[in-house]
Structure 1
């Protein structure tokens, strides 16, 4: 596939852009193989209406409210250890699966396709139900979707503590790097792909970015130096741009193992408790 797209850059960029647009919005697994999590013992399961479907999640523990927000193709199960650590430390966590993810129902585009806009709307629905949080811990695209949802919902999140794990920066740069980690994508293909993706999602890429959002909240950014889908320099860019951000650089964890690492879980809990 990689050699095919490399050749298409020269001879068939239009065709390659159409194929990539389909892949862009395609989730990594269907309902039978998608990542899932279970509600912990003692948690209250909830279901909310979202985009004419059902959003699944759980509400667990007592104390300051923390939202746990997964990324593209993820689920509440991504935060299994972080959630348990937070609840044991006196926090209340609300975690949910975006539509077409985890235990939630299909989104507007069915079981196998979604967009960042759909993830933002899922967060909006949860915010409407549970209100302003003490903190948000989010992974990858969940970092972008949670911040944009708080902006859209009119929440003043200047005092909300944000733990961003391998944050997806969005915009043309973020999408180009993420797609480029899968297949080689040259400028001729990308310049054709962008308007196709924007037309399908109904949003400009530069409006779906973290670089243009002013964040004065306390922020912990955890990013691995070997992260391929979301390169480390993106986390560094955000840490440099946001005045109250600190960067925890890891090595050898890649994009997803930051969610399972005990040192990361401890640092997140410590940061949210400050």
Structure 2
């Protein structure tokens, strides 16, 4: 595949861009194999209407409210260890699956395709149901979608503590680097891919970004130096740009192991308690 896209940069960039546009909006697994989580014992399971389907989630524990927001292709199960740690430490967690993810229903584009805007809309309906949180713990695209949802809903984001694990920054830079981690995308392919993706998603890529946002909330960014889909330099750039952000750099955890690492879970709990 990599050699094919390298050749397509020279001889068929338009065709390659169409293929990549389809792949970009395609989820990594269908209903039978998608990542899922289970509601913990003692939690309350809920379903909320969203985009003509249902958002599935659970409400667990008592104390300051914390939202757990998964990324692209993820689920509530990603936060199994972090959720248990937070509840044991006196927090209330609300975790949810966005359309076409986890235990949620199929979204507007079916079981295998979704958009970042669908993740934003799911966060919006959760905000409407449960209100402004004390904190948000998010992974990958969940960091991008949760921030944009709070800005859209008028949430006073400066008072929310944000723990971002392997954040996806979005924008043309983020999309180019994430796609480039899978297949080589040269400038001729990418310049054709951008308008196709923007037309399908209904938003300019640079309007769906963490870059350029003035975030003065307390932010903890956890990013592994070996993260391939979301390069470490992106998390470093956010930490440098936001006045109340700190960076926890890890090694050997990649993109997903940060979700289950005890040291990361402990630092998230400490950050939310500060």
Q: Distance in 1 between matches of 2:128 and 2:54?
A: 15
1:206 aligns with 2:196: no
Query: Aligned pair count?
Result: 274
Partner of 1:268: 268
State the match for 2:84 in structure 1.
84
Task: Indicate the RMSD between aligned Cα atoms, in angstroms.
Answer: 0.3
Shift of 1:212: 1.8
Q: d(CA) in 2 for partners of 1:37 and 1:3? A: 37
The TM-score with structure 1 as length reference comes to 1.00
Residue 183 in structure 1 maps to residue 183 in structure 2: yes
Shift of 1:234: 0.1
The answer on 1:113 being equivalent to 2:110 is no
**2:124 match: secondary structure:** helix
The one-character-per-residue Cα deviations of 1:203-235 (angstroms, maximum 9, x if unpaired) are 000000001211000000000000000000000
Query: In structure 1, what is the Cα distance between the partners aligned to 2:182 and 2:119?
Result: 22
Runs (5+) with no aligned partner, structure 1: none
Once the two structures are TM-superposed, the CA of residue 200 in structure 1 deviates from its matched residue by 0.2
Q: How does 1:133-148 map to 2 (within 5 A)?
A: 133-148=133-148
Q: CA deviation at 1:237?
A: 0.3
Secondary structure of the residue that 1:220 maps to in structure 2?
A: strand
Tell me the distance in 2 between the aligned counterparts of 1:169 and 1:232: 11
Q: Which runs of 5+ in 2 are unaligned?
A: none
CA offsets, 1:156-193, max 9 Å, x none? Answer: 11011000000000000000000000000000000000
Report the TM-score, using the length of structure 2 for normalisation. 1.00
1:129 counterpart residue number = 129
Runs of 4+ in 1 over 4 A off after TM superposition: none
1:201 shift after superposition = 0.3
- SS state at 2:35 partner: coil
Shift of 1:139: 0.2
